[in-house]
Amino acid sequence: MAYQSFRPSAPIIYDVGIIGAGVMGSATAYFLAKNNPDLKILLLEQFDLLHRKGSSHGDSRITRMTYPQENYTQLMITRAYPLWDEVEKEAKTRIFTKTGGLDFSRENNVEMRRLISVARKYGVGIEVLSPSDVRHRFPLITIPDGWIAVYSPSSGILNANKAVSVFQSLSAKRGVTLRDNVKVVKVKWDQFCYEVATEKGEIFMARKIIFTAGPWTRKLLQKQFGPRNDLPLQVQQTTIAYWKVDPALISAYHSSSFPVFINYEDPFLYGTPAHEFPGLIKCALHNGKEVDPDTRDFEPDVTGLTEGVAPFLQNFFTRVDPVPVRTESCMYTVSPDQDFVIDELPGHDGRLFIGCGFSGHGFKLAPVVGSLLAEMVTKGVGKLSPSSTRAAKHFTIQRLKKSSNL
């Protein structure tokens, strides 16, 4: 698209510009400003702040310490939970609601066995429950013979909208410039800084850029830098569904007495108790069809709901309606190995950075991602603290070379 550029007579040159103000970009802005009060920071969003078109909207995300992968469990214990607590205290508001969590699978499920082993290794409080244990502890849940459940009392729900809003408001209080409805169409190095041009013709200037554009990241990088900085990311459209419980059981399904849950068998799905809406539990498949974020249809995955989620709820839970009463569309940006991409973009002299590929399980780690990107952009990838170096080694672009054009 052609555009006419215009610049203010005395342009501000920002130290860091962040493109994308979902939870990752907003968390990055917050930690940059908190840890570097002298920096001039710009946070740009192509839609309204707190929009519902991407991956950071809604009122609930599961958070948990239990993972089959050691690195995520370590990050949740040592960084994510403490950082969320710090953010809540600074904002004087509650983002996290503890509900406990229940993970289901067959006894011989490899992922579940890894999860149990990792939890025990790192001291995560868990209980391994038999079908009769589950029925005694949670009378509304029935798992088949030959299955187990892992109960984790530290699991719960993060209020997604509130979290993004908190990061943005705290960033603004610390001097970050937030601009919404500014779609970036060009990023160009100009002698001593980047010129960031928007669809409306505005020009912003920044010495370093961080891309946290979620589902739009790959398209943005392709347009700006061509094949050399392409990343093998797949955008999936997922359907979040809310299911009505028997009115007599509303209190029993409430978040004060019912856990978040994940099914590690086919269909791989997850859910939350009645927390966002009275008498409605959330349950959704952890996948979706591949889409273009600019042209997707927002239509619910009826087949997935009727053939995947509904039978699970009918077989495992007590008196839940077989048809959802509410659905909403969301997107995942999935990397080939479903691990994050948090790194310096190669070939740009340490001036461009990226946070993407969160693969449907990143929200709970937003403070970790934000603090890690903030440290990368100010210190450089090679000068991170020991703990950040250990975290970053799992999220490099280098590991994706076999499936990309980098």
Q: Kindly state the tokens that stand for 272.
A: 């939350």
Check: CB of residue 105 under 8 Å from CB of residue 264.
yes
CA distances from 90 to 83, 85, 176 (A): 11, 9, 17
Q: Kindly state the tokens that stand for 374.
A: 């903030």
The pLDDT score that the predictor gives to residue 292 is 98
Closest CA to 19 of 10, 11, 28: 28
What DSSP assignment string belongs to 297-314?
A: -----HHHIIIIIHHHHH
> Tens digits of per-residue pLDDT, 169-217?
999 999 999 999 999 999 999 989 999 999 999 999 999 999 999 999 9
Q: Which of the residues in the chain have pLDDT under 70? A: 1-10, 402-406
Strands 203-211 and 193-198: antiparallel
* Architecture of the domain delimited by 13-55+161-231+339-403: 3-Layer(bba) Sandwich (3.50)
> Tens digits of per-residue pLDDT, 33-42?
999 999 999 9
Rounded to the nearest integer, the mean pLDDT of the chain is 95
Outline which parts of the chain fall under CATH 3.50.50.60: 13-55+161-231+339-403
CA distance 68 to 227: 34
Tell me the whole-structure pTM to 2 decimals: 0.96
Classify domain 83-158+234-334 at the CATH class level.
alpha beta
The pLDDT score that the predictor gives to residue 162 is 98
The pLDDT score that the predictor gives to residue 228 is 82
CA distance 286 to 62: 12
The pLDDT score that the predictor gives to residue 184 is 98
The pLDDT score that the predictor gives to residue 11 is 82
Outline which parts of the chain fall under CATH 3.30.9.10: 83-158+234-334
The pLDDT score that the predictor gives to residue 1 is 40
CA distances from 58 to 43, 163, 361, 363, 366 (A): 21, 10, 15, 12, 15
What is the arrangement of strands in the sheet containing 96-98, beginning at the earlier edge strand?
Answer: 61-63, 156-158, 96-98
| Non-local CB neighbours of 238 within 8 Å, separated by 6+ positions | 284, 285, 286, 287, 288, 301, 329, 330, 331, 332, 360
